[in-house]
Each structure stands twice: as structure tokens, then as C-alpha cells.
Amino acid sequence: IRESATLTRDVLEQHFNDLKGTLKKLLDERLMSLLQEVDTIEQESIKPLDECQKLIEHGVSTADDLLRDGESAVHGDVGQQNEKLCSFTKKALHIQLDSLPEVPSLVDVPCLSAQLDDCLLTILKNQIFRHGTVASRPPVQLEEFVEKPGGILVRWCKVDDDFIPQDYRLQYRKSTASHFEDVYVGSETEFIVLHIDPNVDYQFRVCARGDGRQEWSPWSVPQIGHTTLVPHEWTTGLEGYSLSSRRNIALRNDSQSCGVLYSKAPTYFCGQTLTFRQVLSGIETVGQPDRRDSLGVCVEQQNGCDSLQRDKAVCVSTNGAVFVNGKEMTNQLPAVTSGSTVTFDMEVVQLGPSSNEGGNFKLRVTISSNNREVVFDWVLDQCCVSLYFGCSFSYPGWKVLVF
């Protein structure tokens, strides 16, 4: 409680400090804009009046000079009087004392004033008093973390019965990172977060958006999750396949070379779920299917084979046929298409005290695809709890993600 209360105080103080800074900046910008508008109107309006004033002042000054010349001519010496009167007369004839420049009408002269609406303060006050809330309990909480190879399955649940969720938003970050990042937004209540480094702590949090609402709910209590399982990787070097940088996606390329692409190591353990997902490879369709195509698991790598449809392997063909130790089963799954997901689940079936000491060893296998599944027992002649996975495609265009 103390930790969340301290964090909430920090968030509130930071948010309102940011608001105050932003509001001050906006008000300063608006004030500067209005002052510039006043300056522009003043400069444009005062210019003709200043010119008019200069003309009037010049006329008055000229009239004063002429008046002084006239007084000097009248009161001067008799000998110079005629000469001064003649000069005065000539000067007076060239000056128009009865004309004035056009003076703008009073109604045409701007008179600036500031129009300020006091209701802005009322609007801001009402908005500020309604801004922000403090929630004591988020409506959704993280429920479970399930380790996956190179990933974590995160599950969450609604804890507020009155809350009707429309979407969920899941975020995560490394324990050493400072910022969370979105990893899922949608209506599901679980998500597999991939690209997780083994034995590294990650922090997760989730929130929800109510039905018909735009804003997100408060975040759940952050929780730590990690995985100890190394990520699944395809092995490198097979000519017919191109791999992604993390080596969890394999693309069947245009090479004529064919064969089975195996995992780097036997990283699939019984009790886990192995998932193959067909993803787009830049085109809207997958590659051309072939009956030898296969996705599956095997006890050991056998270089030189062109398919997993062999002994000590179980697999699914792209047409949906299921093969166990090289024999096709009567049950069939839907064909693999773009976006299809195929999952393998296996568990050890105990046959007796000596079942793990040679002799028969049985695994219960469940293969699912497009909401259909087949279940069967896979009998082996040796104890085997970790398996290789593999794929083989005869034609280019197939692109498979494994996790």
C-alpha cells in the first residue's frame, strides 16, 4: 500500500506540474500573439495620422515664418520697406494658407481595446476540478505466469464484477528497463509473450478499457515473471531454408535442395505445448502443398530423410494427414493454410515399474489444429522425455514460426 501510494503521489505531482508548465506556455504564447496583434494595428493605423500631423505642423511653421516677414516689412525702415513688402507679397503668393491635408474621420480611426471573456476561468475551474481520479483497486489483475521456451504465457482476470471490459492492454519491461512497452491489445485474457531471455526477470502489468469508453482503467499491481526454458531454435546451415535473426522462423526458399529442417537441440519436453504457426511470407498464399510435407517431433535427427514421415517420429502433413512412426492414421486434421496453428502436447504414460528401463515406452500425444484434435499413444522402444522438432516442405513459400 505504501509503495503504490508513494508512486501515485509521484505520478500526480508530475502530471500536474507538467500541466502547469504547459498551461503557462500556452498562456504566454496567446499573450504574445495578442500583443503582436496590437502592435500591428497600431503601426498600420498611426502611419497616415503621423503623416497628416507632419503636413499640418509644416504649414503652421511656414505661416509663422510668413507672419514674421510681414511684421518685419511693416515695422522696418522706410528705405527697405518697399523691398520687404515686395518679397513678402511674392512669398505669400506661393503659399496656400487656406488648404489642409485630409484628416481621417473620427469613426475611421481605430480605438484599441482588449476583449476578455471571464467565463474562461469558470470553464477551466470546472474542468480542473473534474480532472483526474484516484482508484484504490484496478478492475483487472494478473493471474498466472506459465513458462514457455523463450517466452511466458501471461493470464489475467477481471476482479470487479461491475466492470464490463471491451479490450485489455498488456505491457512488460525488463527489470533493468525504465519504461514499459505494449505487447498486446485485444479482447483475450491470455497472451504468450515471446522473445523472453531465459533466467531474466520481467515486470508485467495489465489494464482494461470499459465497454464504450475511450480511456484505460488503472494498471494492475505489477508482477514479476520469468522463464528458465531456452527458446526453440531451428538449426542453421540447411540450404533449402532461410531463418530469422532469432532463428525461430524458417522460410522455405527457392533452393532445389530439400530435406528435414530440425531444431538446434532437443528442447521440446513432455508436459509442454509445442506450437507451429504458419505466417505470411510477403505473399497472400502459402507454398504449394505436397504429401511429403511435415511438421512434427522426433526422437533423433536423421540426415538424408526428406520427410518426418518415418520411424521414431510423429508429424502432420500440410493436407492434414497424421503420421505415427511412418504410418498414416485414419483420423485427419484440417489442411494447413496461411495463419494456421498446429500444437503438440505430450505426456508420459507409465506402463509399469520397468517401463522406463528399456522395453516399451509410451507417450500420450495430442495434436490440435483449427479447433480439431487427434489423441493417440506413441510407443517407443526407449525412454525419451525431450524431443527434436522439425519440418520439411517440398515447395517454396512456406514460413513457420515455432514457440
Amino acid identity of 380? L
- Kindly list the distances between the CA atom of residue 217 and the CA atoms of 129, 202, 213, in Å, as whole numbers in the listed order: 20, 22, 10
Q: What does the alpha-carbon distance between residue 399 and residue 237 come to, in Å, rounded to a whole number?
A: 17
Q: What does the alpha-carbon distance between residue 308 and residue 54 come to, in Å, rounded to a whole number?
A: 103
Count helices and strands in the chain by DSSP H and E runs: 3, 21
How far is C-alpha 188 from the geometric centre of its chain's CA atoms? Answer: 19
Residues of the chain with CATH 2.60.120.920: 241-402
pLDDT at 355: 45
In this structure, the number of other CB atoms found within 10 A of the CB of residue 173 comes to: 16
Q: Quick check: helix, strand or coil at residue 288?
A: coil
* Ranges in the chain, pLDDT < 70: 76-81, 96-104, 280-286, 350-359
Amino acid identity of 310? R
Place of cell 484504490: 136
pLDDT at 279: 80
Where helices occur in 76-109 by DSSP H, the ranges are 78-93
Residue of 298, 299, 300 lying closest to 308 (CA atoms): 298
Reported as a single tens digit per residue, the pLDDT across 345-377 is 999 986 545 444 445 789 999 999 999 999 999
CATH of 140-225, one of 3.20.10.10, 2.60.40.10, 3.40.1280.10, 3.30.365.10: 2.60.40.10
Cell output for 252:
522455405
- Kindly list the distances between the CA atom of residue 3 and the CA atoms of 7, 131, 399, in Å, as whole numbers in the listed order: 6, 23, 47
The whole-chain average pLDDT of the chain stands at 87
Reported as a single tens digit per residue, the pLDDT across 25-51 is 999 999 999 999 999 988 888 887 887
Residues of the chain with CATH 2.60.40.10: 140-225
Q: What does the alpha-carbon distance between residue 239 and residue 216 come to, in Å, rounded to a whole number?
A: 49
Reported as a single tens digit per residue, the pLDDT across 160-192 is 888 899 999 999 999 888 899 999 999 999 999
Burial 352-378 (b: 16+ CB within 10 A, else e): eeeeeeeeebebebebbbeeeebeeeb
In this structure, the number of other CB atoms found within 10 A of the CB of residue 335 comes to: 16
Q: What does the alpha-carbon distance between residue 386 and residue 338 come to, in Å, rounded to a whole number?
A: 29
Question: What is 241-402's CATH topology?
Answer: Jelly Rolls (2.60.120)
pTM metric for this prediction: 0.62
Instruction: Give bridge partners of residue 146 from the DSSP assignment.
Output: 153
Q: How many residues does the chain have?
A: 403
In this structure, the number of other CB atoms found within 10 A of the CB of residue 351 comes to: 13
pLDDT at 79: 63
Contacts of 166 (CB under 8 A, 6+ apart): 187, 208, 209, 210, 211, 212, 213
pLDDT at 93: 74
pLDDT at 352: 47
Q: What does the alpha-carbon distance between residue 354 and residue 338 come to, in Å, rounded to a whole number?
A: 45
pLDDT at 110: 80
The answer to whether 203 and 175 are in contact (CB under 8 A) is: yes
